[in-house]
Amino acid sequence: MASFFCKTLVFFFMGFVELGNARYISDFQWKQQKMKYTTVYVDPSGHGQFKTIQSAIDSVPQNNQNWICINIKAGQYREQVKIPREKPYIYLKGGDQGKTSVTWDAHDSIATDATFTSEADNTIVESITFINSYNYPPKSNNNPRVVAVAAMISGDKSVFYRCEFLGLQDTLWDVQGRHYFKLCTIEGAVDFIFGNGQSLYESCTISVNARALEGLAGFITAQGRSNPKDESGFVFKNCNVIGSGQTFLGRPWRDYARVIFYGCNMSNVITPEGWTAGVYVGKEKQLTFAEESCKGMGSSTSKRVQWEAKLSQQELQQLTSLSFIDNEGWITKQPLKMDILNQNDPTDVNTHASAVAAAGGVANTSVDINNPLCLHPSDNPGAMLVSSPFNRIGY
């Protein structure tokens, strides 16, 4: 009898908890679906409130706490764009992928010369190509090869979806913070993904332009993790590594660099050794350079450096799931259609939800917001216009 009573009590208690959770998630969905995002429009021809991207960003109030969508008409923009630290919650939305580009040609100083700089937390960028044209494209360029950054990302909780970053040396400076790159393309030859970011690159194209180095091998990554307790690292999951010439997967920028290629398709551009310790010869055991479940002509590990890291299944699970960058559910709370999390990886949303729940957060995998206010007037004629009030150590 006592046993029956206990079981009944547990049953009702669990039912109460589930009801509470369901109500919480339902309320969260309702709030998300009822949100109205201010949208401003950029159109060089004058059919929006702004003719440049930077002027639209400048219009966002300092210490903004509400998402503002800046819808950018497809076209080529020649300007240097910066989202300052004090302007979070900006959603830059370009036209169709490959049809909205931002180009600049500043060079030599990575601190000030990036075509696009994002310092603010809670930033989304969708379908925009960022180009540093000083050395790009290399076939039609006679400038000496120098540092020429296309994008510099230092804000936390930043998502890049269907974006392109094009350059030759130091293309993408993934400075610091938690970042999610989905279905993006990054192109370059030397250290073209570098920095100390804690970032997941999923289903991206890594395009190597090492042929431009005239016989020298290139380097895809130069990661800057500086101590064993640092949570940063670059994880490439289900990516395609393609291109010309020969390249190393990476070399360390700092003592405890961490880079993982997981489930990637590698062409024959990868050198047999795969990795180099660079200036950290003798400290290889401190580095975490790893590959797992990769395929393609460049994926053979038979001639890889002997000190390449071998990770346990638990470590791989921890580093290759969304919880590596998000154990609190921040990605699912952003105003992007949630099905982007599911593209090319049908199990990852549920895995992410479980990891978030285990960490004490709440993940919402069912919200599907395709904000109609974030369409450009040319795409949505009925939409109403709303006015809106350090140099890196070289080698």
Alpha-carbon gap, residue 251 to 271, rounded angstroms:
13
Helix (H) or strand (E) holding 35: none
- Token readout for 227 is 């101590």
Decide if 191 is catalytic: yes
Q: Is residue 170 flagged as an active site residue?
A: yes
Instruction: Please give the Cα distance from 341 to 328 (Å, whole number).
Output: 15
Contact 353, 365 (CB under 8 A): yes
Contact 196, 176 (CB under 8 A): yes
Q: Give the Cα separation of 390 and 392 in Å (integer).
A: 7
- Nearest alpha carbon to residue 53 among 18, 77, 28: 77
- The CA distance from 271 to 249, in Å, is 8
Q: Which of 170, 174, 326, 348 is catalytic?
A: 170
Residue 312's Cβ-side half-sphere holds a number of Cα atoms within 13 Å equal to 3
The residue behind tokens 């809106």 is: 388
**Catalytic center residues:** 170, 191
